[in-house]
Amino acid sequence: MKPANAGKRGKPANLRARLYTVLMVLVLASTALVVRAVDLQVVRKDFYQDQGDARYLRDIPIAVSRGTIFDRNGEPLAVSTPVESIWGNPQELLANPDRLPGLAKALGVSTDVLTERLLQRRDKEFLYLKRPVDPDAAKEILALQIPGVASERAFRRYYPSGEILAHTLGFTNIDDRGQEGLELAFDDWLAGKPGVKRVIRDRLGHVVENVEMVREAQPGRDLTLSIDRRIQYVAYRELKAAILEHNASSGSMVILDVSNGEVLAMVNQPSFNPNAKGSAEPAFRRNRGVTDVLEPGSTMKPFTVVAALESGRWKPDTPIDTTPGKMTLPGGYTIGDIRNFGPINVTRVITKSSNVGAAKMAMSMTADHMYDVFHRFGFGEVSGCGFPGESPGLLPVAKVWGPTEKATISYGYGLSVTPMQLAQAYAALANGGRLRQPGFVRGATNPDSAVVDPHIAGQVIAMLETVVGPEGGGLKAAVANYRVAGKTGTSRRAVGGGYEKRYASLFAGMVPASQPRLVGVVVIHDPGGGRGGVYYGGLISAPVFSKVMNEAMRLLDVAPDNVQRWYAGSPDMGHTLGPMSPPPDYPPDQPNYEEAVPQ
């Protein structure tokens, strides 16, 4: 029996159709490949190039050194030293957990802390691991060859004078940008502009090839200050010694060059080391010379006298009766002197620091006139020195002055000033009645402006010379071989609408008085630890002025103006020029150093 399909023959295979089909598939595939190649190489070339570059091509900054700060004699005060910054790729580091303990040990942290930091930035490709790092220490870390760890050049600020210039210079942050002081004030000048270069990095972060320079680096510019490091050191040394000797809480000293308004020294206590600023209390970083205000006490009396002389109703020898040493104002407020000076004149109001005399002169003038004179000398506004955070102090407007306000302001209560403002005002007197803004840059243009008649300024300077004489309270401010003009001041600290029994001791003066070259202001807070005892400005601050100015006159080679001349008895000896004997050291209980402090 035959099978059902035994008589049927199968159709021959269509080999040609199959061949065409295969060829068509190959042509289409080839076309797709060509189209894709064109798309990759031509149409979207830039996109894929960027994607590739993003994995290996990097724009990295070129660190620049910050400009060096010099003192007026070319001594470096702030310099930048090269350091390294260790950084890593969190993604790569987390992919190699076995290498983290070694890296943590090299960085000086625990493995847990390092791991936590990496996990917090695991979606990033860059994380600073440690900075700044000494170059030798950085080499040791890189020698571990841990994937994802690299370094870049940076700079760190170093201050050779340490705490002596800390408040004046300020400091920079970890990115080498100014944060306080002159580093902040002149940050744009000093910082420069970092450059940028494009490089190819391998998977370990190492630079394989420098591709191109994107932006040239512009190093910071140097800055020459008016500060004299030698005088700054002397001022710092003597202020600190006085603070320790009298168990005071703080103090400041500012020294100005009368001829141009340049700041030669500005020191504060307590201070801090800007090279290790993290260990200092925030309060220690405050530049009290320009930020802290106080009531200036009797150091304001010369400006009350200026206003009185300018009014035309008073002259240096105009009599004032201060009997019985007290004065009661409308409203019952009583002003008192340390004792009854009796009938005196305007000059002796300054010599004896009479509150009653100053108040009586104030009562003869209008509040508007007194305010105008004080404001002309710079009180109530910033000095213009450009120091960051400078306080304008407080000079109440004249329309709020009643009899009590007028009287108390005349001897330095009811207004507040900074040591810099006080130095600026005394420098205006020393400059023949012409005011200049204090400046910290050597040789900067600094025009002055007339604020009072030079004849009146000269009269007041002559009065201030008597303060440093045998009858005045500032005898301890005397400088051998030089005439000194100045004024002591003692004020109580204001708190909560009243005054506490804590004092500020002041001395403001100029030397040599015949042709003033330097003006200095010394302020010491809380002598005796705020527990009473000796606190008069003539005993606390005046000696600091004397010691500092004695050294400053020598360093600046200023000619003496008070050398004692005598003629020997024998004609054979001729004329002899000898130094003036230093002033006698009166005991503290002598009345010369005392002044009335309102209670």
Among residues 273, 267, 252, the alpha carbon closest in space to that of 163 is found at 273
Cβ neighbours around 511 below 10 Å, total: 31
Q: What is the DSSP string of 420-477?
A: HHHHHHHHHHHTTSEE---BSBTT-----EE-S-HHHHHHHHHHHHHHTSTTSS-GGG
Q: What is the DSSP string of 132-199?
A: EE-HHHHHHHHTT--TTEEEEEEEEEE-TTGGGGHHHH-EE-TTS-EEEHHHHHTHHHHH-B-EEEEE
Considering only CA atoms, give the Rg of the chain.
Answer: 38
In the chain, the amino acid numbered 89 is N
Sequence-distant (6+) residues with CB within 8 A of 250 are 243, 268, 269, 270, 288, 524, 525, 526
Instruction: Please tell me the distance from the alpha carbon of residue 348 to that of residue 420, in angstroms, as a whole number.
Output: 27
Q: How many residues does the chain have?
A: 599
Instruction: Please tell me the distance from the alpha carbon of residue 281 to that of residue 169, in angstroms, as a whole number.
Output: 17
Query: In this structure, what token pair is assigned to residue 389?
Result: 């955070």
Q: Which residues of 378-389 are buried (b: 16+ CB within 10 A; e: fewer)?
A: bbbebbbbbbbe
Q: Are 90 and 100 in contact (CB under 8 A)?
A: no
SS3 percent helix, strand, coil of the chain, rounded to 5, is 40, 25, 35
**In the annotation, is 298 catalytic?**
yes
Q: Which residues of 568-581 are buried (b: 16+ CB within 10 A; e: fewer)?
A: eeeeeeeeeeeebe
Instruction: Please tell me the distance from the alpha carbon of residue 260 to that of residue 441, in angstroms, as a whole number.
Output: 11
Catalytic residue from among 65, 298, 354, 416: 298
Among residues 368, 246, 260, 349, the alpha carbon closest in space to that of 301 is found at 349
Residue 340, strand partner residues: none
3-state secondary structure of 503: strand
Instruction: Please tell me the distance from the alpha carbon of residue 264 to that of residue 261, in angstroms, as a whole number.
Output: 9
Among residues 77, 108, 75, 111, the alpha carbon closest in space to that of 96 is found at 111
C-alpha distances (whole Å) from 30 to each of 20, 27, 504, 537 are 15, 5, 94, 99
Instruction: Please tell me the distance from the alpha carbon of residue 295 to that of residue 489, in angstroms, as a whole number.
Output: 10
By CB neighbour count within 10 A (0-12 exposed, 13-18 middle, 19+ buried), where does 288 fall? buried
Residues annotated catalytic, as ranges = 298
